[in-house]
Amino acid sequence: MVIVMQASATPEQMRQVLHLVETSGFHAHINDGVERKVVAVLGEVDIDKVELVDRFENLPGVEKVNLISAPFKLSSRQYHPEDYIVRDGNLAIGGNRVCIAAGPCSVESPEQIMESAIAVRAAGASMLRGGAFKPRSSPHSFQGLGEPGLKMLAEAGEETGLPVITEVMDAHDLDLVCRYAQFLQIGARNMQNFTLLRAVGQCGYPVLLKRGPGCRIKDLLMAAEYVLCEGNSRVVLCERGITTFEDAARNTTDINAIPILKELSHLPVFLDPSHSTGEWRWVTPIARAGIAAGADGLIIEVHPNPQAARSDGRQSLKPERFAEMMRQVRAIAEAVGRTV
């Protein structure tokens, strides 16, 4: 349930509402909206919902009470009607400007990540990606360099002035990753690792939450809810392809998810066309489609020498191809009234 306060509601009226929320056995999350405050009432409802709605509606300062039947509340537009902009330093994700994060799948060496960082920055990226903890399907595949990789990534980020985003796979590594990164990534395989989601919620760092390949849009929003519940509002949702019967590409890009997520939620939405296609030749066309469909940003794998990459070389763009992708994406962004 969400309680929409009148624009003229006083602090005392707000206090009365919060008091009734707590004494009824719930807890409140407050969205200090631009026009009016909205209070989300969270907890299990075991008393009569209609009676509860009446009690809240009769309080002074309350405009209306909406029951949200969906199992996600804090990630829903009903709670936060305006688009939400995730900010960190100079970075703003979810506003008019489309944000591009780019870099290799894995950090492999200081030279490889530095060369990647310089190239993606020159082409106009505003974030550097690179994995140091890699969720690989086989335990025999390269697992990432761990802390030395994080150090290399942080150095390349500092040198180029790009904030860095990297995956955290385990709640135990969170403090370590936060020492080196500005932005966290929760990978597709961990989308429903609820312990990790809560830990990231408590740590407060901005997070890119990737959709699991077998998960529905509502599952992604419920996963985001775990982070938001802990008081961390800086969540970016990411479509990265789902598993379907179609096996011509690594995954199926669910372009529908972009406008659907934007409608259901106020959170910014990214597309990862590298993982959603699995093939570098299809990355640029699908990147264009994502921006045309309303994505707030892209995360792209770029490697100075894809043939030699230790992970995901096949779907990685060479720097010059990434620069060409940026040119095309810029044109699409302008066509839909945005900038890059």
Structure tokens at 227: 């982070």
CA distance 24 to 22: 5
CA distance 211 to 214: 8
Q: Is 250 in the site for ligand PEP (CB under 6 A)?
A: no
Is 60 buried (19+), middle (13-18) or exposed (0-12) by CB count in 10 A?
exposed
- Composition of the chain by helix, strand, coil, percent to 5: 40, 20, 40
* Contact stretch for ligand PEP (CB under 6 A) within 11-19, 187-195, 229-237, 281-289: 187-195
Pattern 94-123, Mn ion, x by CB under 5 A: -----------x------------------
Q: Is 39 in the site for Mn ion (CB under 5 A)?
A: no
Q: Which of 187, 268, 273, 304 binds ligand PEP (CB under 6 A)?
A: 187
To 10 degrees, what angle do helices 217-229 and 194-203 make? Answer: 50
Query: Are the C-beta atoms of 209 and 183 separated by less than 8 Å?
Result: no
Task: Give SS3 for 291.
Answer: helix
Q: Which of 61, 94, 131, 273 binds ligand PEP (CB under 6 A)?
A: 131
Tell me how far, at minimum, the Cβ of 151 lies from ligand PEP, in Å.
Answer: 19
Tell me how far, at minimum, the Cβ of 160 lies from ligand PEP, in Å.
Answer: 20
Q: Tell me how many residues contact Mn ion (CB under 5 A).
A: 2
Q: Is 105 in the site for ligand PEP (CB under 6 A)?
A: yes
Q: Which is nearer to ligand PEP, 42 or 171 (CB)?
A: 171
Q: Is 312 in the site for Mn ion (CB under 5 A)?
A: yes
Task: Give SS3 for 327.
Answer: helix
**What is the contact surface with ligand PEP in residues (CB under 6 A)?**
105, 131, 135, 187-189, 210, 240, 272, 275
